[in-house]
Structure 1
Amino acid sequence: MRKKNNTMLKWIINLGFVFISFVALFPVLGLIVSSFRPSSELIRNGMSLTFDISNMNLDNYTYIFTQAASYWEWYGNSLIISGLTIILSLLLSAMVGYALAVYDFKGKNVIFLLVLFIIMVPFEILMLPLYKLMISMQLIDTYLAVILPLIVAPVAVFFFRQYAVGLPKELMDAARIDGSTEYGIFFRIMMPLMMPSFAAMAILQGLLSWNNFLWPLLVLRSNEMFTLPVGLATLLTPYGNNYDVLIAGSVMTIIPIVLLFIFFQRYFVSGLTVGGVKG
């Protein structure tokens, strides 16, 4: 009887998760269905899951692949910026977090407290000084203007620090005895052990960079330099709305993040949990 109750409880929990997942995916499903509708029908009826199969077509996607040259410029910009941001953010944030975890030096705790403080400061407060800094460095309307403020993310530093605290210090001592340098210890021994945390942060930092709208909107000027969020936002104007590109283009923007999660998902849960478990 007890086994039967446990089985029923598991079914109820699973159904609850399925329902929650459907609610979370409802806007995405509505977006996908709407991307196959004519733009005139979108203007009249808006986005929904109800559809008339006779009105469904691939015209919106055909337009993107044949006529929307600017869209692919924005797509390429987002891929370049997100790729560089992920690589630099993971490398630099991991090195900072690792140093705060395994080395003892003067001011270590102060630096860690500053990292925690910056996490609590909204980015909107930092935008003005960062914007003035980009102007003084003459980086406005460049990739570097978008990438530089994100390459050492306080959240990533905190996460890597918490993960590195649980790494076995005996391996470092053994490597030093064998004559390895500190950089060699990090890149050849500790970094492979930190791969689950790298995978988790790759997904989170990639999602943050790919969806970043406000900061690129401030520092990018020319149409050919826009990222996808900024470029798609320019399609909605008082003089006309290009829903053909907007809806179908929004669906296409989901693909890189889905692929990124599929590629790293086997490490994602362990990367989020192992660093927070002592022992």
Structure 2
Amino acid sequence: MSTDFDRRDRRAFDLSGKVVVVVGAGQSPGPGMGNGRAISLLAARHGAEVVAVDLNPAAVKETVEMILAEGGNAYAVEADVAEKDDCQRIFDTAMQTSGRVDGMVYSVATNPPFDFETNSMTVENFNRGINVNMLGCYHCTLFAAQCMERNSGDTTGSIVNISSIASVKNELGLNIGIMPYALGKCGLNQITEIAAVQYAPAGIRVNTLMLGPIDSVLANRDSQSLFGLDADEATARHNEVVKLKMGRASVWESAYAAVYLLSDESRFMTGQQLRLDGGATLVR
């Protein structure tokens, strides 16, 4: 790790030589880009070897191809994070292929199918949402940390768990469609803080990046289906909660924040919930 932060020719956020696992590196259907893909591309542009993980093999293959086309280094792993064994296999594959893990980003979210008219959801779909949004984060954080404990140095790895202001802001109403997501992200916040305490002596940093209204594929699609809005109404609803005048952020702003947390520049930060929300949570 380089700590020569005062050097004039230092390259900021240099991830060269680091292996970064991005869980959720694929792409939800629809126009635009998702946070996981943007984070994968930007980490590769900053020198990381990216282990791109997703349930959708075609989507994650496309992310890898985009990285390779830019001259970066990446490979794909197909996994269902609701399954513990799949989470373990992600990191077994990374260790066998790359020999180490330096960073992990958990950028996975799902809003399971529900009945908008009756505000109801099956128990199976509810549990699936919790397993993807929270339990998968627990397993990936655990297995990533176990890999990072093998690294040398005073800071040995960085884990970034992507959360949402839905875990702290309650203006959406008791909509069953958002509940597995909001509850899962609440759990993710706690997983981050507990893991930060547990693994600090090993030099592993664990932080939450809590996102507000981001112009991502998933946010655009789900905000319409969850609340019965059309595209313009969904955009207006997102913009209403932002205090800064520019409206929603792009996925690239999320990606730059994640790269900061992965890089040596954030070596003194752990157990934090960084809110990238345009001031949406200034007044709860």
Which one has more relative contact order, counting CA pairs under 8 Å at least 6 apart?
Answer: 1
More helix by share: 1
| Fold match (TM-score > 0.5) | no
TM-score range, shorter chain: under 0.3
TM-score by length of 2: 0.23
